[in-house]
Amino acid sequence: MSVQIQHLVEQIDVRKDEVIDLLKKLIEFKTPAPPARNTKDAQTFVADFLRERGFSVDMWDVYPNDPNVVGVLKGSDADHFNSLIINGHIDVAEVSEEEEWELDPFTPIVKNGVVIGRGAADMKGGLAGALFAIQLLHEAGIELPGSLLFQSVIGEEVGEAGTLECCNRGYKADFAVVVDTSDLHIQGQGGVITGWITVKSTQTFHDATRRQMIHAGGKLFGASTIEKMTKIIQGLQELERHWAVTKSYPGFLPGTNTINPAVIEGGRHAAFIADECRLWITVHYYPNESYEQIIKEIEKHIRHVASADPWLRENLPTFEWGGKSMIVDRGEIFPSLEIDPNHSGVKKLAAAHHAVLQENVVVDVSPTVTDGGWLGEAGIPTAIYGPGNLQNAHAVNEQVSIEQLIEYTKVMVTFIYEWCHTQKA
């Protein structure tokens, strides 16, 4: 660690109240999703913060009142030195009226070595620490030769993938750090995709015809789509068990790749045979798999299940996968993220962690999902690294350790400096 960076790291201890105040300010912006459409004020604050520290800022609406913010600090020798994306989401988990918080969830409390408030762990702590690291570099007059991009995105909590919109807008870098909840582990992740499976009859029958379609001699070729969907569910359970036996990934417990039948909707009225039934499923898969691959496996298996049933093979189930929003179209995709522990960005981040904490970083996989998969899918080597733990994410009296927040800020100022001072491979 250079003398210059060592001085900045030491300043963080002296100025830790400023880090805490920045986190408190971010928590005070009420940005729960759902309901969403409430991040403009918070994003304006982030945009102004970045502009005041030399960044050019791109701010655009992904949804009304839900803008993305991307700040770009062009490196002094950007063609020859590494660029970095720091990525985090400004939205936080919803708060229900029944939750018994110590105080209002958006009135942060500092006590017993923690900051309490919605988003403290997931993930305004990560945003605050990274922003303060940027502030320190700016105040010190440090000119980075490599470019630094800061992405504050919307919609992660409801699958609206503000990060995907950044990728589609053309933002790239040599490495990216998603500063989401990881307990200061460097992590990859599995993926998640939701899907709707629909069983639909071409005809609608009165309830009084049921005897004719289920008993001998009835001569009516019909079925309840709700009853037929039970066969689809059984087929999904068989595939889920097969995956648990045949698939694995280091760091995940066996059977983590699950197929959850989350919601079922069917029928129109008690006086009719159900002529349509829809099943909403959530699928978790491993970091070395893609959602395209998973879709093919599920559809192939369910079509085999349907082919064994006389009615279903004449009325094949249909599939709708993913979606852009759990609010708008009731669907989402979180691509998986596999990290290479030998990538130079991962090594530099691990070295910064060791330099600050005097211990080796844990490199593993997150049991949940973040926007990191979108960056990885865009061809950007990416790792998840942030303060806070999942026991507190989305929890009543959500909190983050101040000690860990300060450690994280120290690591980030060190890593930003080192990575953006490293020549491109």
- SS3 for 260? strand
Task: Identify whether the C-beta of residue 140 lies closer than 8 Å to the C-beta of residue 304.
Answer: no
Burial of 280 (0-12, 13-18, 19+ CB in 10 A): middle
Residue 91 annotated among the catalytic residues of the structure: yes
Nearest to 356 by CA among 317, 293, 409: 409
Given 28, 66, 122, 156, which residue is catalytic? 156
Residue 156 annotated among the catalytic residues of the structure: yes
CA dihedral 6, 386, 323, 42 (to 10 degrees): -70
> 137: part of which helix (H) or strand (E)?
helix 125-139
Q: Which residues of 362-379 are buried (b: 16+ CB within 10 A; e: fewer)?
A: ebbbbebbbbbbbbbbbe
What residue type is assigned to position 368 of the chain? T
**DSSP string spanning 35-91?**
T----HHHHHHHHHHHHTTT-EEEEEEEETTEEEEEEEE--TTTTTB--EEEEEE--
> 334: part of which helix (H) or strand (E)?
strand 333-334
Long-range contacts of range 260-263, CB-CB < 8 Å, 24 or more positions apart? 260/284, 261/233, 261/236, 262/194
Given 66, 91, 122, 174, which residue is catalytic? 91
Nearest to 29 by CA among 111, 170, 174, 127: 127
Task: Identify whether the C-beta of residue 133 lies closer than 8 Å to the C-beta of residue 142.
Answer: no
- Angstrom CA distances, 347 to 55, 187, 381, stand at 27, 13, 12
User: Which are the catalytic amino acids?
Assistant: 91, 156
